[in-house]
A and B are shown apart, each in its own frame.
Chain A
Amino acid sequence: MKKSFTREQRQTIIYGILCIVIIIVILQLWLLTATMNAYLGGDETIIWPAALVSLVCLGLNLGLLRYLYAMERR
């Protein structure tokens, strides 16, 4: 059986997760603006890689959120 965390531990964990999620979202915002700029300038080479990277970032964020809810169920 998995060990449940104390309140202090959960607070620390959620602060850590929130920091990581915010960093990833800022990265995605930068990626979106850079891709839009390239697309409007006629550069198509980075559109596919940028979409895939953004999808990976979303997957990471969803994984972290899932971990949070899993932690609460313990």
Chain B
Amino acid sequence: MKNSEPMTIPPDGRTEAEQPRWRQDFPIDWPEDHYVARRDFTKFMVLTSLAFTVGQFWILAQNFLRKRRGEMPIRQIATIEQLRVGGALTFGYPGEKERCVLVRSDEKTFVAFSQECTHLSCAVVPQPEKGCFLCPCHEGSFDLVTGRPTAGPPRRPLARVKLEVRQGAVYATGMEGTTA
């Protein structure tokens, strides 16, 4: 760095020779100080940029892993007799920890969704009489048949569980990331 240019004028406006000894011994080059501060801030912002790029590739890796998980298991959830019209039943799918809820909306229609609210992952509660799933945490609401958000903060639909009804029983056969 070339420092042939004059340094900052002292705050009292007097010449450099007239300054007290301490200021002559420890002069502060303010323009240089500002320059270094902004350069370091630029460096910090570039590091932030690196972090965001790493985040993007993390999403890419998660998506790759999600695809590699392969086929979901086929599992019997309930028999038709177990669930009356307007009734609901919770179950774990694909693992026991991933809670889902099965609802019988009419005589022949069964729907099942992940119980995780798409806002902040609270458990949604089915309310078949109102035709919705309600999230009690922030008053979010989802349509009972499509899983689409109808009120409150959630913007994405509930993850749908693919169902098959055969031989008097309801089977879960897979998950759909979205019902959009």
Contacts and interface: CB of A to CB of B under 8 A. Distances in A.
Contacts of B49: 21, 24-25, 28, 57-58, 61
A21 B42 contact: yes
A22 B39 CA distance: 13
Interface residues of A, number: 40
B156 A40 contact: yes
A68 B31 contact: no
B53 A28 contact: yes
Interface residues of B, number: 35
Chain A interface mostly helix, strand, loop or mixed? Answer: helix
Interface stretch (B56-64, B85-93, B129-137): B56-64
A50 B57 CA distance: 9
Contacts of B176: 42
Contacts of A40: 118, 156, 177
B45 A11 contact: no
Given A14-B39, A40-B118, A41-B156, A22 B34 contact: no
B53 A54 contact: yes
A11 B29 CA distance: 14
Contacts of B155: 37
Given A18-B45, A51-B57, A37 B156 contact: yes
B53 A55 contact: yes
Given A47-B63, A57-B52, A68-B42, 12 more contacts: A11-B35, A14-B42, A25-B49, A28-B53, A37-B156, A41-B177, A42-B178, A61-B45, A62-B46, A64-B42, A64-B46, A72-B1
Interface of B: 1-2, 5, 31-32, 34-35, 38-39, 41-43, 45-46, 48-50, 52-53, 55-57, 59-60, 62-63, 118, 155-157, 159, 176-178, 180
> Closest 3 interchain pairs by CB?
A42-B177, A42-B178, A28-B52
